[in-house]
Structure 1
Amino acid sequence: MGFSLNLVDLAGFIALLLWGVHMVQTGVQRAFGPNLRAMLGQALRNRSGAFLAGLGVTAILQSSTATGLMTAGFAASGLVELAPALAVMLGANVGTTLIVQILSFNVAAVAPALILIGVLMFRRDVSPRARDIGRVFTGLGLMLLALHQLLELMVSYEDTPSMRLLLGAAATSPLLDVLLAAGLTWAMHSSVAVVLLIMSLASKGAVPPLAAFALVLGANLGTAINPVLEGPANDELAAKRLPIGNLLTRVAGVGFGLAFLEPISRQIVTIVPDNARAVADFHSLFNIAVAALFLPLLTPFAGLLEKLLPKRVDPTDPSQPIYLDPAAKETPIVALGAAAREALRVADALGEMLAGARAALASADRRKIVETRRRDDVLDRLNGAIKAYLISLDPEELNEQDHRRLNEILCFTMNLEQAGDVIDRNLLPHAAKRLKRGLVFAREEQAELIDLIERLTSNLKAAAALFMTEDARIARTLADEKIAFREAETQATLAHFERLRNGRLDAVQASALHLDLLRDMKSINSHIVAAAAYPVLEREGELLPSRIIRVVR
């Protein structure tokens, strides 16, 4: 019975350690996530800057996985070369060692104070960032408390014969230790927590230094496995280059570490007699050595990865999302970035529909109409996938700015999908009616329709740019486009009335159809403007609730 209770205690303290790590990560992501992503994106221009950015971002986030997901997003979109992205991962691996170094000192006495400060900051009605920083303090306190309790629990097992026998058997096989720690790290999704657990075991003599160092090698290997297995949902080999490259550097590092483990172990133990400190120092030394070994070799290494994992030439199904990575849901800012990239594919699909509509109006080919209507299914499926992905995010993990961006992405994709519905259900049927009835537009009417279609295409490109930049100047310019379409509709209506007076039946029917098409285009433009311009103008306080002038009487 006592043994079972001790197992429950051990599992509970490990769970508390994991929860503390999770609170630190989510608190930092909510408070500083957008700034960290921007800093990372700016530093990816050269290898040394990328390495330092990866180190700094990961030291703050305490998650090399989160840093890797951000970097993978930049690499997959072509915004950064593979070599700087690999440099980020080398820096991220070094960054994970900093919290381990701090916690290797005896700082458990400050755990209650950290938890108290964190709870007070979280419970007070203050700014969202202060609440998020409170989560960080609480998480750090819980981590220290869990480590202290693990150390106390190890005392009761220190002289247990069965435990000594088990750990003694593990100590004789470093390769077994590596595999054991790699599997544990993969299951726990946190190399920091596993290394801290190894420190607890080593500090009480439960595992000898040689076995502890082998376990640290396994923890570093295990943390590189998750991004490979839980990477992008698509089967594009090129998207796997970064996580596989990171895993290969870890495998090579672990191989060298195992080959020279015994002499390295003797040297570290001689210099650092404290076993817990020795584990932390070995963890840092391993990651620094791997970074020093691979940083000069990143260019040929990246070339080898690009050759072994080529970008697939065959086009994929355009209705299948390619950026909605399920693993990114653990990092909200990364998940929102992935959804934003997928939203741009919705804009591209609508652009193809507009090009098809232009071809249908400029020719008498019915196949153009059929092909263009089929593309509406792409819009519907992408929009549905993005909505399902965003709705599945935990709202508790999102700060105020994240919620705003989530709503903007939903507004953008839903309006573009509705614009596609207007093309599918109104504009293209009107184009088909023209062919069925054999109506011919006047030269100026035909030119006006083509001109407005091209204007819609330009407005769509401006909306996509505005969606990414959120520049108020582009928003004002795009909103002014509604005036042009409204004036075109007014002029067409007056011209239609004039043709009604003239009484030519064929001209009247063509004019009515021309007017219907203009109204369809006006509706499409309204959805494009609402998709990107209105959210920005509303945030800037430049959007009126109504066009009606309010007269004070």
Structure 2
Amino acid sequence: MDWFAMTVLLLGGLAFFLFGLDQMSSALKAIAGNGMRKMLGDMTRNRLSATFSGAVITALVQSSSVTTVLVVGFISAGLMSLTQSIGIIMGANIGSTVTAQLVAFKITDYALIIVIVGFSLMFLGKREKLKQLGTAIMGLGLIFFGMGLMSDATSPLRDYPPFIAIMRNMAHPLLGILAGLVFTALVQSSAATTGIVIVLATQGFITLEAGIAIAFGANVGTCVTAVLAGLGKPTDARRAAAVHVLFNVIGVLVWLPFIDHLADFIRQISPQHSELTGDARLAREVPRQIANAHTVFNVANTLVFIWFDRLFAKLVTKIIPQKAIPLPKAAQPIFLDAGLLDTPALAVDRVELETGHLGELVLDMVNASGSGTGRENPPDVSKIDKRAREVDLLVVEILDYGRRLSSKALTDADGARLHRILDVVNQLRAVADTLGNNLSSFLHEWESRQLIVSAETGERFDRLEKKVQSALRDAITACRDRDYKKARSVIKQKKELRKEIEDFSKHLSIRLLSNDPDRAETYRLESRVLEIMSRLFFFARHIAKTVSAPPSKDKDHDE
């Protein structure tokens, strides 16, 4: 036995096999292009269509990991739920069996012909798609060429008793599963494991039962790739990997006691060569039988487990909970109590109180905004930015509580009240966004350009900003204290403020004709201030109108 030559030939064959698989997968991905995304997006309406799309995409690109990456991208973008993704992940397992079916064809003698055809298309093709197709065909040829080398490397072992003994021990399911698991985890490819098993089967080294056990191990081992891909990724990515692990591990555990029954069934449905005997018959029949067993196993598992997709989703959500990000103290809810969700009327009261807390944060931003272009009361930009982040976080908490509350049995009055409160929450967030984004960026640009306004324009700005800020304070206070009279006073300011803004706009237009070289830039930024002030008053008035809703819709309305 020339162990060195045998090892070199075996590893060289494995290298060609893996390289060819990678080349074929990469080329098919390029050919499929955006069609993969479109197909996954269009075919997730129900369990079966999602499973079918996962199987087809994986069969096309010869890589279940690519399908999983696409799925995670859809989940992260909010275009697909975790439950929808489970069908695709299960379908990917079916698609991955196509590789085993391909390598089971004993066409290693024609491997180099396939390589030549692929290389010719790749080298002579004018269009990119044709070149990619050539690369895919060449990759397929390299897969079969690598299999041929591995087969040649292992042929001397036919007469080596220790190796034959080891192969016979593989008939024990646990040893076979362990061998398949370890090897797949090492090479990060279940297709490689299946390929080597089929190569061994062509030499008559391995029985169908041993081949099934090793294929089971490969199914579990491929989960290592999914787990490694999920490390350090967002929660949904790790949950998708967990679904892959659970599905494969549970499937193997369910089938483990029935390997002999599965083998008998596969022998009945696979081609038989009764004219042969002994190892020659095994070498002819077992490769196709192993490929068929791999397909039947994955198809059966998917057809059974796909109906439990919601259960899988709940399970992985509990196993991998969303990491709680500690909230800043000011953004922590004070009044929201999950224990009151089953008492909707009291829970609505809590949402209203928390909205008052939110209003106080926004009021703090209003007070910190000072006078946008005046220097007597300069804005505290750092405080505005800090409060803006806190407002965003608290709004998320309030809306999440409101979403859970809305699923409860609310009366019409409580439902209408909750809707109005959440409307105010969104308006308060809009005020915070305007102050935190538009006003802050405006102030930064104003100061960087070192622009100066005239005394008259500065006075007008101060007067308008004070009125808008006062309206915001009154609207937020009216919301917090349920002060309907104050809310109506804000609404009545519409005509006065609109006229003041129109007069101010005319004043700025006249100033545009001055000889100041920076006048055009100053006018642009001054007009932007007017737009911001107008928008802030719109939000203030909207809040006030929501607070002063008709009494018939709110049992606690007090004139």
User: Which structure 1 residue ranges, 5 or more long, are not aligned?
Assistant: 318-355, 377-418, 451-490, 502-507, 522-553
Native 8 Å contact 1:373 1:424 kept in 2: no
Alignment equivalent of 1:289, drawn from 300, 303, 320: 300
Instruction: Give CA deviations for 1:41-74 in whole Å, capped at 9, x if unaligned.
Output: 1112221111110111011001011101101111
Equivalents in 2 of 1:55, 1:158: separation in Å? Answer: 37
Does residue 514 of structure 1 match 2:513? Answer: no
Alignment equivalent of 1:366, drawn from 379, 400, 424: 379
Alignment of 1:328-407 (within 5 A): 360=369, 364=377, 366-369=379-382, 372=385
What is the identity, as a one-letter code, of the residue corresponding to 1:117? V
How far the C-alpha of 1:301 sits from its partner, in A, is 2.4
Match of residue 19 from structure 1: 19
Equivalents in 2 of 1:306, 1:260: separation in Å? Answer: 31
Secondary structure (helix, strand or coil) at the match of 1:223 reads helix
How far the C-alpha of 1:312 sits from its partner, in A, is 3.2
How far the C-alpha of 1:230 sits from its partner, in A, is 1.8
Alignment of 1:256-271 (within 5 A): 256-269=254-267
Native 8 Å contact 1:20 1:142 kept in 2: yes
How far the C-alpha of 1:517 sits from its partner, in A, is 4.0
Alignment of 1:267-278 (within 5 A): 267-269=265-267, 272=270, 273=272, 274-278=285-289
Instruction: Decide whether aligned partners of structure 1 residues 145 and 367 sit closer, same or farther in structure 2, where only a CA change above 3 A counts.
Output: same
Secondary structure (helix, strand or coil) at the match of 2:159 reads coil
Equivalents in 1 of 2:326, 2:85: separation in Å? Answer: 25
What is the identity, as a one-letter code, of the residue corresponding to 2:522? H
Native 8 Å contact 2:86 2:309 kept in 1: yes
How far the C-alpha of 1:135 sits from its partner, in A, is 0.6
What is the identity, as a one-letter code, of the residue corresponding to 1:498? S
Match of residue 401 from structure 1: none
How far the C-alpha of 1:370 sits from its partner, in A, is 6.3
Match of residue 204 from structure 1: 203
Instruction: Decide whether aligned partners of structure 1 residues 25 and 315 sit closer, same or farther in structure 2, where only a CA change above 3 A counts.
Output: farther
How far the C-alpha of 1:298 sits from its partner, in A, is 1.2
Does residue 498 of structure 1 match 2:509? Answer: no
Match of residue 220 from structure 2: 221
How far the C-alpha of 1:226 sits from its partner, in A, is 1.1
User: Which structure 2 residue ranges, 5 or more long, are not aligned?
Assistant: 273-284, 329-364, 390-436, 469-506, 530-559
Equivalents in 2 of 1:512, 1:373: separation in Å? Answer: 33
Match of residue 340 from structure 1: none
Match of residue 239 from structure 2: 241
Equivalents in 2 of 1:205, 1:438: separation in Å? Answer: 98
Match of residue 193 from structure 1: 192
How far the C-alpha of 1:79 sits from its partner, in A, is 1.3
Equivalents in 1 of 2:112, 2:145: separation in Å? Answer: 8
How far the C-alpha of 1:516 sits from its partner, in A, is 7.8
Equivalents in 1 of 2:366, 2:29: separation in Å? Answer: 44
Match of residue 80 from structure 1: 80
Alignment of 1:396-435 (within 5 A): 423=441, 426-427=444-445, 429-430=447-448
TM-score scaled by structure 2?
Answer: 0.61
Backbone CA RMSD of aligned residues: 4.1
Instruction: Decide whether aligned partners of structure 1 residues 7 and 316 sit closer, same or farther in structure 2, where only a CA change above 3 A counts.
Output: farther
How far the C-alpha of 1:184 sits from its partner, in A, is 1.7
Does residue 165 of structure 1 match 2:165? Answer: yes
Native 8 Å contact 1:434 1:513 kept in 2: no
Equivalents in 1 of 2:126, 2:459: separation in Å? Answer: 64
How far the C-alpha of 1:193 sits from its partner, in A, is 2.0
Native 8 Å contact 1:427 1:520 kept in 2: no
Native 8 Å contact 1:357 1:372 kept in 2: no
Native 8 Å contact 1:190 1:223 kept in 2: yes
Match of residue 338 from structure 1: none
Match of residue 320 from structure 2: 309
Instruction: Decide whether aligned partners of structure 1 residues 310 and 101 sit closer, same or farther in structure 2, where only a CA change above 3 A counts.
Output: same
Query: Between Structure 1 and Structure 2, whose CA radius of gyration is higher?
Result: 2
Secondary structure (helix, strand or coil) at the match of 1:79 reads coil
Equivalents in 1 of 2:58, 2:186: separation in Å? Answer: 20
Match of residue 102 from structure 1: 102
Does residue 254 of structure 1 match 2:252? Answer: yes
Instruction: Give CA deviations for 1:331-365 in whole Å, capped at 9, x if unaligned.
Output: xxxxxxxxxxxxxxxxxxxxxxxxx9998586556
Alignment of 1:9-158 (within 5 A): 9-124=9-124, 126-158=126-158
Give aligned pairs, total.
Answer: 390
Equivalents in 1 of 2:96, 2:132: separation in Å? Answer: 21
Identity of aligned residues (%): 24
TM-score scaled by structure 1?
Answer: 0.62
Match of residue 174 from structure 2: 175
How far the C-alpha of 1:500 sits from its partner, in A, is 5.4
How far the C-alpha of 1:81 sits from its partner, in A, is 1.9
Secondary structure (helix, strand or coil) at the match of 1:171 reads coil
Instruction: Give CA deviations for 1:11-57 in whole Å, capped at 9, x if unaligned.
Output: 11001000010011100111222111111111122211111101110
In terms of mean alpha carbon deviation, does 128-137 or 357-366 score higher? 357-366
